[in-house]
Amino acid sequence: MGDVTVHRIDEVLLPPVTGPWLLPGATPDVVNQQDWLGPHFADDEDVLRIDGRSFAFTVGGLRILVDTGNGKERANPAWHDQGGGGRAAAASVNR
């Protein structure tokens, strides 16, 4: 396949209350037992960080966007069809 470059495209960082709301069983005690979660997926108080992102891959001069979060209908209207944030950001990824 050759050289591949992976670009992480951060789209939205949700507020800290989102983790406990979305995953109520992920209490600080439970999160603290999972060393691999910090610091990228849990904060210093052992609360999960929940965010939305896309990935762009550069392979053989092509840019491939993987954006699994858009275009979906969701029960929560605040998260319904998030638009094309990843697509716009991918256009600015350096080659």
pLDDT at residue number 51: 81
95: in domain: no
Domain tally, the chain? 1
pLDDT digits over 6-50, tens only?
Answer: 888 877 778 888 888 888 999 999 999 999 998 888 989 998 888
pLDDT at residue number 60: 85
| Rounded Cα distance, 56 and 28, in Å | 32
Q: In what order do the strands lie in the sheet with 51-59?
A: 4-13, 51-59, 62-66
Give me the chain's average pLDDT, please.
78
76 has pLDDT over 60: yes
23: in domain: yes
Contact 13, 55 (CB under 8 A): no
Lowest mean pLDDT among 10-19, 32-41, 64-73, 83-92: 83-92
User: In which domain, by residue range, is 63 found?
Assistant: 4-90
